[in-house]
Structure 1
Amino acid sequence: MKNILFVIFSFLFFLSCSNDDVNGPPVAPPSESSENKIISFELVFESELYSGIIDHDTGEIYFETTGFENSPDIIPNIEISDQASISPSPTVAQDFNSDVTYTVTAENGDTANYTVIIENTPLSNESKILNFEIHLEGEIIIGEIDHETLTITTPMTNKDISNIVPEIEISENASIYPGLDESQDFRFLPVEYTVTAEDGSTSIYKVKVPYLRLSSSITTCYVNTKAMGSVTYLDIINQDYKLYIENETHSYEVEWSDFDQHVNLSGTPYTRFNFEFNEDIETATDYKMVLRLNGEIKVVSEDDLDILKEDAPKIASANQTNYYYGDTLILTGENLKPGLRIPANMNIYQYDDQYVSINSDASTLIFPLTVNQNMFPSWVGQDSPRETRIYIFYQGRYGDSIIVNFN
């Protein structure tokens, strides 16, 4: 009996030991991660990538940016610890012009706060021309700048300003159009420069260089020719200016009259006047008009004057004072030429020897007024009679003239 009980207990002990070998020691469950870091933080604005400097001790993410004051809300690129989560969601756009705080939660529930701090350098809004100079033949012309009216005005000049590259200084980080290396013609209309600030705002400056200009309506003529001249800016009416026709060899003072002041569309004041190329002027092709005040030259014309003395036509009289379409114009005089030029009704009518005839000794000129009725004001709906100047005009050269009435 004892032997049987021993065998039974031994068998149960063996089974108990076998079960322990199969199950092994108990296994503890795995621990949850405590990592709650922002590993990288990036912002993209206007195609430029900004990477934040992350300080895990202070919980700050620091950026140095330029122009972010104009940025819209941005979706950041954020990398965080494995198994962690972040709030607010990185897929939500944020306005980083103010501090933005993100909370990273580890798998085990531990949290860490990170604040995004932007140190932004705003784009400049300054769009100014700071200095404007024109360098001419050793002379420096400095512009006076008015930033309120956005105008730049220089002193008067009579020098050639038709192809000038001015020296211009503008605001830092700004740009200008036309470019700093582009030449401009400053003689007539104001030249506009557009200055664009770093932030895209603009200012448009108008540059006015008072161009002192003396000119004649006629530059190729015989002596005895009457012409119209004009001069800008100078007050030739109230000051004792003198007008000369001269070259290196000759100088002739000429009479002028009928002064008439105007302002053109660009705001330039000018005075028109009448004068005559005196019959004592010698033949030359290089004369200039010259204005002097108290003997000092103030302005010289740009264009050369081609003046011919030999065989200069001279009109003595006309057969009528009033003419209608269909009449015949007959002029008498000396050295008359088979050609006329007639400014009438805002047009210039020119006729050569196909229409104009002279006798053998060039003392009589005949022109039938049947060629063009538009020379006569009544035919074009204008008041009549109208004073009309008729010029001798031959081979591109003006000559003497006479005033008659066209009806």
Structure 2
Amino acid sequence: MKNIIFILVLFVGVLSSCKKDDAPETPKEVVLSTENQIISFQLNIEGTLVTGSIDETNKLITLDTEDADVTSLVPIIEYSDDSTISPAVNVSQNFENEVAYTIIAENGDSNIYRVVVNNISSNTAILNFQLLINAKTYEGTIDNDSKTLYVETDYTLDTADIVFSLPEGTSITPVLEGTPNFYLPIEYMVTAENGEITIYTLTTKAYYFFDNNSNHLFYSDATAGFSGTGLDLTIPNSSIIIENEQNSYTIQNTIISNSSTYTNGMPFDAFRCTFPDNITTATDYKIKYLIDGEVKTVSDFNIDVLAENVPVITSLNQEKYAWNDILIITGENLPDIISIPSNGSLFIIQNSNSYDLTVNNDRTQLTLTLDYSYLFPSYFGRPEGEKTITLYGTNRRIGTTINTIFK
């Protein structure tokens, strides 16, 4: 009886065991990675590895370089396992601008890292500069080896302004404070982005004819006077020409009457000249100053030259003149006006209550009583001296001259 019970129990156990083996298994849960970080970011710049600083909070990677070419670099990036990155790490990028990398975790979560390269420069080279005067632009030349700047103008520099073009992040200031005086050399301090400093020296050359005579009317045999800045006729191959659209003449017989410098440093040059014998009548001549054939400046006023009916002086009645002497000029086409300089002034003389100047009907003789004491050096306690008498035509057109002695 006991054996029967044991067999039954064993049978039941076998059945129970078979039932468990036949039941299906529950599948295991798959866990995907959430990691999506850039762990390390480097750039290889000319063989040197520059490692970026990673700000996880702001997802910002910054690298500091100096004078580097970062326009086409393949980064070295270490990022989370089982994640993907875009753009691909083997693709070169232009890191002059911000570059964004997207890291996507295995589970699809993403992070976007911004890469910023702070590429500071030590460049202090001035790219270009211009001088601005009366809405006109004058391009300067730069010698970055000698650290010198040079510019020429055909106008005065009193109202000049200067504009520089510099590398990004670079600044420039005059070494000396205050309004710059472009007639004198000026030092400029150029500061690079990294703080490096270079000193440049600017030299400016101005060429300009002064319009200090409202009357530019001349007879063809007149001695004309002109002045300006930069008109240095002692420079080799420098010259003055007078021309219009029809004619051009080189003035050969120039006499430098004054070369000096104003207190602001502006050079002052004055010269006298006579016109070529074959110059023709015209009202629209310009004078030009040249060096080695290059025109440096052109007068902004016209010169009127008359070659017909020119007054001519053939003689004076005396070699020397004293107070109350009679001055008699003999010649042809003699005008009604003359000038006599004295004591730094120029006395314009014509018939009036002060002067009895007369010219005969044939215009061959001019007579004047020299009773104006200011005309004589002796009035000022000075010795006799040579004076230049000048003839003037209609509208005070300047004519020929003659020299004589006043006591």
Question: TM-score with structure 2 length normalisation?
Answer: 0.52
CA distance in 2, matches of 1:185, 1:246: 34
Task: Give the letter aligned to residue 306 of structure 2.
Answer: L
Q: Which residue of 2 aligns with 1:210?
A: 205
Task: Give the letter aligned to residue 155 of structure 1.
Answer: V
Q: Which residue of 2 aligns with 1:329?
A: 327
Tell me the secondary structure at the aligned position of residue 155 of structure 1.
strand
CA distances 1:280-316 after superposition (whole Å, capped 9, x unpaired): 3222222111233443323323332122222221111
CA distance in 2, matches of 1:169, 1:177: 20
Q: Which residue of 2 aligns with 1:36?
A: none
Deviation at 1:223, TM superposition (A): 1.3
1:158 to 140, 154, 157: 154
1:286 to 284, 287, 294: 284
**Structure 1 residues 164 and 298: alpha-carbon distance in aligned structure 2, compared to 1, 3 A threshold:** closer
Question: TM-score with structure 1 length normalisation?
Answer: 0.52
- Cα pair 1:133 1:143 within 8 Å, conserved: no
- Cα pair 1:224 1:279 within 8 Å, conserved: yes
- Cα pair 2:140 2:149 within 8 Å, conserved: no
**Structure 1 residues 332 and 374: alpha-carbon distance in aligned structure 2, compared to 1, 3 A threshold:** same
Q: Which residue of 1 aligns with 2:52?
A: none
Task: Give the letter aligned to residue 377 of structure 1.
Answer: P
Deviation at 1:191, TM superposition (A): 12
- The answer to whether the aligner puts 1:252 opposite 2:249 as a matched pair is yes
Q: Which residue of 1 aligns with 2:367?
A: 366
**Structure 1 residues 258 and 396: alpha-carbon distance in aligned structure 2, compared to 1, 3 A threshold:** closer
Q: Which residue of 2 aligns with 1:240?
A: 237
- Cα pair 2:229 2:268 within 8 Å, conserved: yes
Q: How does 1:9-24 map to 2 (within 5 A)?
A: none
Q: Which runs of 4+ in 1 moved over 6 A?
A: 168-172, 174-179, 189-192
- Cα pair 1:288 1:304 within 8 Å, conserved: yes
Task: Give the letter aligned to residue 390 of structure 1.
Answer: I
Q: How does 1:376-387 map to 2 (within 5 A)?
A: 376-382=376-382, 384-387=383-386
Deviation at 1:156, TM superposition (A): 2.8
Q: Which residue of 1 aligns with 2:294?
A: 296
1:134 to 128, 131, 137: 131
- Computed over aligned residues only, the root mean square deviation of the Cα atoms, in angstroms, reads 4.2
1:348 to 330, 346, 349: 346
Tell me the secondary structure at the aligned position of residue 378 of structure 2.
helix
CA distances 1:74-119 after superposition (whole Å, capped 9, x unpaired): xxxxxxxxxxxxxxxxxxxxxxxxxxxxxxxxxxxxxxxxxxxxxx
What percentage of residue pairs aligned between the two structures are identical? 27
Q: Which residue of 2 aligns with 1:78?
A: none
- Cα pair 1:341 1:349 within 8 Å, conserved: yes
2:266 to 262, 265, 268: 268
- Cα pair 1:143 1:155 within 8 Å, conserved: no
Tell me the secondary structure at the aligned position of residue 154 of structure 2.
coil
CA distance in 2, matches of 1:261, 1:353: 33
Q: How does 1:186-225 map to 2 (within 5 A)?
A: 209-214=204-209, 219-225=216-222
CA distance in 1, matches of 2:398, 2:181: 30
CA distance in 1, matches of 2:272, 2:406: 21
CA distance in 2, matches of 1:269, 1:227: 20
CA distances 1:165-210 after superposition (whole Å, capped 9, x unpaired): 54379998x999999xxxx997xx7799xxxxxxxxxxxxx99843
CA distance in 1, matches of 2:292, 2:308: 33
Deviation at 1:143, TM superposition (A): 9.3
Gaps of 5+ in 1: 1-130, 145-151, 193-205
- Cα pair 2:312 2:334 within 8 Å, conserved: yes
1:228 to 219, 225, 230: 225
Deviation at 1:225, TM superposition (A): 0.4
**Structure 1 residues 369 and 163: alpha-carbon distance in aligned structure 2, compared to 1, 3 A threshold:** same
Tell me the secondary structure at the aligned position of residue 206 of structure 2.
coil
Tell me the secondary structure at the aligned position of residue 379 of structure 1.
helix
Tell me the secondary structure at the aligned position of residue 255 of structure 2.
strand
Deviation at 1:235, TM superposition (A): 4.6
Q: Which residue of 2 aligns with 1:310?
A: 308
Gaps of 5+ in 2: 1-127, 187-200
Task: Give the letter aligned to residue 375 of structure 2.
Answer: M
